[in-house]
Amino acid sequence: MAEIRESREQDIRNAVSAFEAMLREQVARNDRMEKERLEASTAGGSPDTSASEGAGNGKKIVIGTTAGDGIGPVIMKEARRVLAELLKDEISGGKVELRSIEGFTLENRLACGETVPPDVLAEMKKCDVLLKGPTTTPNAAMNTKNLESANVFLRRAFDLYANVRPVSIPEEGIDWTFFRENTEGEYALGSRGVTVGDSLSVDFKVTTVEGTRRIAKAAFDFARANGKKRLSIVTKANILKKTDGGFLQLAREIGKDYPEIEVDSWFVDIMAANLVNKDIRSDFQVFLLPNLYGDIITDEAAQIQGGVGTAGSANIGSRYGIFEAIHGSAPRMVEQGIEEYANPASLMKASAMMLSHVGYTEKARRLESALDAADRELGSTMTGLPGGGKCTEFADKVMEKL
């Protein structure tokens, strides 16, 4: 018993030391963000403006593409085919480059023992934006090295604080845009929890003032720029009074600078119910959520739209953007040999968001229209099951509609 007690005491000392280091790290991170914001304000600018150069200014735009794992190579092949068609004049004229980035596969990441191998990350940094396929995160059942989520790593590495996910069902009057905080919450420190013997496990959630400020401002700025009149803050502030409570309070304070926008707040469990309530769900417009709730709620919203295979997302920071489907790599489809039935609409919608982000708004609208038309004709067949529509068939229809 004495040995067990001493082991637990050592675990507690180790946990306290690790927690202190994390606290200091996160305080320093908040201070850096505050300094950047104040310096930008003094200079008359904003740290929340993307540095992607955009179309029309003479600089070549480098669009990196990386297929990822599972169904990623299947849907990326078709997304690249559509992008190459849309941008053929710009590519031939040297205005745009579609650059394939290799090595971002689970096999290579495991072989290197790195969530994102340094040479792969270096190639990503040479691009203006990245279109990314889904990646597999190793878990205990896989009996491999327990690498961190590649998505979490990249969002942190490029400081992509805003995860933007639109969901649209015109026939039901649904036009939702979700602003999910992307670099904090449970995901920031989720892989750095501690255990005390076999008795206790603790994971961490972090919310900083500056991190909350910038995602809230991004959501309100979007609402104002797009004529939206309602913004809904989603938390569990009645239980998590420091993290979620602080998020809610600061978001409301920022909302006072946007008097034309109605601000309301909901607990995440009630919002999950609201999204399936046909009597009220069309009244919602813009949502602001901390990281974990945003991950869960947007998957629910995508399922209402037609499935996670129908939804794209943008990860935006002040200097970079990564665009991707909201779903994972679907390893079961690969194991069953049915990856050809994967729906590429999600990655193509992310491609449209990317085109708009870099300044090709008309091409983005063309792609969105083609996707809507293809979905009307083939959407119901895209079941992800044998006998349903195939990835190439959907992409062919999109090409036809372009």
The predicted model scores a pTM of 0.84
Residue-range domain boundaries for the chain: 48-151+320-402, 161-316
Residue pair 181/205 in contact (Cβ under 8 Å)? The answer is no
Angle between the 345-357 and 391-401 helix axes, to the nearest 10 degrees?
40
The closest of 339, 367, 354, 276 to 62, measured between CA atoms, is 354
Q: Which CATH number fits domain 161-316: 3.40.718.10, 3.30.1490.110, 3.40.50.1820, 3.40.50.1470?
A: 3.40.718.10
pLDDT in tens, the chain (402 residues): 788 788 888 989 999 998 999 999 999 999 999 998 998 888 776 554 444 445 556 689 999 999 999 999 999 999 999 999 999 999 999 999 999 999 999 999 999 999 999 999 999 999 999 999 999 988 766 667 778 889 989 998 999 999 999 999 999 999 999 999 999 999 888 778 888 888 889 888 999 999 999 999 999 999 999 999 999 999 999 999 999 999 999 999 999 999 999 999 999 999 999 999 999 999 999 999 999 999 999 999 999 998 887 888 999 998 899 999 988 899 999 999 999 999 999 999 999 999 999 999 999 999 999 999 999 999 899 999 999 999 999 999 999 999
Element (H, E) at 81: helix 72-86
In terms of Cβ atoms closer than 10 Å to its own Cβ (0-12, 13-18, 19+), residue 388 is: middle
**151 CA to centre of own chain:** 8
**pLDDT, position 140:** 62
Which pairing describes strands 321-325 and 129-132: parallel, antiparallel, or unpaired? parallel
Q: How far is CA 150 from CA 68, 69, 286, in A?
A: 10, 11, 27
> Given this chain, do its domains 48-151+320-402 and 161-316 carry the same CATH topology?
yes
Find where tokens 């735009």 sit: 61
48-151+320-402 belongs to which homologous superfamily? Answer: Isopropylmalate Dehydrogenase (3.40.718.10)
CA-CA-CA-CA torsion sign (364, 366, 367, 369): positive
CA-CA-CA-CA torsion sign (81, 343, 186, 142): negative
Residue pair 62/97 in contact (Cβ under 8 Å)? The answer is yes
DSSP-based three-state secondary structure for 234: strand
DSSP-based three-state secondary structure for 241: coil
Residue pair 34/40 in contact (Cβ under 8 Å)? The answer is no
Partners of 316 in the beta sheet? 162, 321
Contacts made by residues 56-59, CB under 8 angstroms, sequence distance 24+: 56/359
| Measured torsion, CA atoms of residues 130, 131, 134, 140, in degrees rounded to the nearest 10 | 0
d(CA 51, CA 279): 41
